[in-house]
Amino acid sequence: MVKDQKINEMAGGSYDMSTLSDEDFFKALVAYRNGGTNRFAAHCGIEITGIGPGWAEGEIVLEEHHGNPIGSIHGGCLFALADSVGGAAAVSRKRTVTTVASTINYLNASLGGTTGKIRARAEELKCGKTTSVYDVKVYDDDGRVLTQSTMTYYKIQAGLDIPGAD
C-alpha cells in the first residue's frame, strides 16, 4: 500500500493503478522510473521524459563529470542513457526485463564539451514472448546522432513491480 501511495504521489495524482488509462499508466511509469528506483540512472543524471507503447525518450543535462579526458561526452555516459531509455521502452509492454545483449555505434563525437543536453529515443523493433529488441539513438542539442544502439532485453516475468500494472 505504501508503494501505491508513493507512485500516486510521483505520478501527480491519486488513483487506483489497476484502473488507469493507458495515458495515465505511462505517466505513472515515467514517474516511477524517475522516482529513485533506478539509482544508477539517477546518479548519471538520466531522466525518462516520455514512455508510450513500444517507445521511450530520455535525457541527461550534461555536467563536467559526464566528460572524458579529451573533452567530449564519455562513451559510458552515452551507453548508460541508451540502455536506460531502451529499458524504459521495454517495460512499456508491462513486463520486467533485463538487458541480455547490446551493440552501440559511436557515430559522432560531441567535441563541444559537456554543456547542454543529450537526448535518446528508443523504438521497438520486436516484442516477442521472451525477448524484445529496440533501436536507440542518442542525439546532441543540434539533433546530430551521436550513437545508434540495438538493445535486446529478456523478459524476466510478465508484469511489473508496480502495483496495479499487471
Q: pTM above 0.75?
A: yes
CATH numeric code, 2-158: 3.10.129.10
Q: What is the DSSP letter of 62?
A: -
Paired strand residues for 15: none
Mean pLDDT for the stretch of residues 11-18: 52
Determine contact, residues 7/163, Cβ cutoff 8 Å: yes
Could you give the count of Cα atoms lying within 13 Å of 115 in the half-sphere of its Cβ? Answer: 2
Per-domain boundaries in the chain: 2-158
pLDDT of residue 18: 63
pLDDT at residue 86 tops 60: yes
165, pLDDT greater than 60: no
Give the C-alpha distances (Å, rounded to integers) separating 148 from 52, 118, 156.
Answer: 20, 13, 25
